[in-house]
């Protein structure tokens, strides 16, 4: 009938409530706000961006490094090592301030009740000097990580960890000592691989290059030795008469 109710399918979109429309719009909002995580954005801002041509998640084949690659690895730290140093430097500064402040607050009085000097008392100037030393090590740690100096970064982290360890704050010193040991071991292994790759001489191309050429034959001329002449055999009596 022309005066009947309209088609329910045609009026369905107009009868949606506010909450239903909001739920339908949520996937659009999520698709328009797809952003990488904060850690990836921070790493991209601090470190060099990854190669766009490389396939994401693709596993690199186990190919031996050449001499040029080993030399580049020895001279400069990679992105992972640099990120560790850049994150450890500000943490080291915060730990230094926290530890020195706690030591100052727990420092006993200079004199005992009987007027004698307290042997456990430590001068505030010594704490201030120690604070400057620890903050200086933090700055050196940051500079070594920024300029990709692996060996120098490992040494500075080791010194900082030992300093905190000697202050009896083992929980703060052990991570820096372990990180320093990891960096120093990596530096030693790269140096060892480079020495092994260049052991064949200047023409060697490393572990992934061709094998070294075999030794060349000696070109010195050796004259043939003359064989000794045999003495003539004496003829028998029968042969002499026949002759």
Each residue's pLDDT tens digit, 29-80: 444 455 666 667 666 655 555 455 544 444 454 566 788 888 888 899 999 9
Residue 168 lies in a domain: yes
Residue 50 lies in a domain: no
- For residue 184, the enclosing domain spans 78-197
Instruction: Express as a percent the part of the chain with pLDDT over 70.
Output: 56
Residue 14 lies in a domain: no
Task: Measure the CA–CA gap between 81 and 140, rounded to whole angstroms.
Answer: 15
Residue 97 lies in a domain: yes
CB proximity list for 191: less than 8 A, separation 6 or greater: 74
* pLDDT value at 27 more than 90: no
On average, the pLDDT of the chain sits at 76
Ranges of beta strands (E only) in 89-198 are none
Crossing angle of the two packed helices 79-105 and 124-146, in degrees rounded to 10: 170
Q: List the structure tokens of 133.
A: 């030393």
Residue 133 lies in a domain: yes
Residue 136 lies in a domain: yes
Phi, psi of 111 (to 5 degrees): -120, 145
Residue 238 lies in a domain: no
Closest CA to 156 of 183, 132, 187, 188: 183
Residue 13 lies in a domain: no
What total of structural domains would you count in the chain?
A: 1
């Amino acid at each position: 009938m022309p005066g009947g109710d309209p088609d329910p399918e045609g009026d369905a979109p107009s009868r949606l409530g506010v909450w239903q429309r909001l739920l339908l719009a949520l996937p659009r909002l999520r698709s328009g706000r797809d952003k990488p995580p904060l850690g990836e954005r921070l790493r991209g801002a601090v470190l060099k961006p990854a190669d766009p041509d490389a396939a994401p998640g693709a596993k690199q084949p186990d190919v031996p490094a050449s001499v040029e690659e080993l030399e580049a690895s020895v001279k400069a730290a990679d992105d992972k090592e640099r990120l560790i140093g850049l994150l450890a430097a500000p943490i080291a500064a915060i730990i230094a301030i926290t530890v020195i402040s706690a030591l100052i607050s727990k420092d006993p009085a200079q004199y005992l009740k009987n007027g004698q000097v307290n042997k456990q008392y430590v001068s505030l100037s010594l704490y201030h000097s120690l604070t400057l030393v620890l903050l200086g090590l933090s700055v050196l740690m940051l500079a070594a990580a920024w300029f990709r100096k692996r060996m120098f970064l490992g040494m500075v982290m080791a010194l900082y960890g030992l300093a905190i360890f000697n202050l009896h704050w083992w929980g703060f010193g052990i991570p820096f000592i372990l990180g320093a040991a990891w960096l120093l071991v990596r530096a030693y292994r790269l140096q060892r691989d480079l020495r092994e790759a260049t052991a064949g001489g200047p023409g060697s191309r490393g572990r992934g290059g061709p094998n070294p050429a075999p030794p060349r034959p000696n070109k010195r001329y050796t004259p043939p030795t003359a064989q000794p002449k045999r003495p003539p055999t004496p003829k028998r009596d029968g042969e002499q008469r026949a002759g």
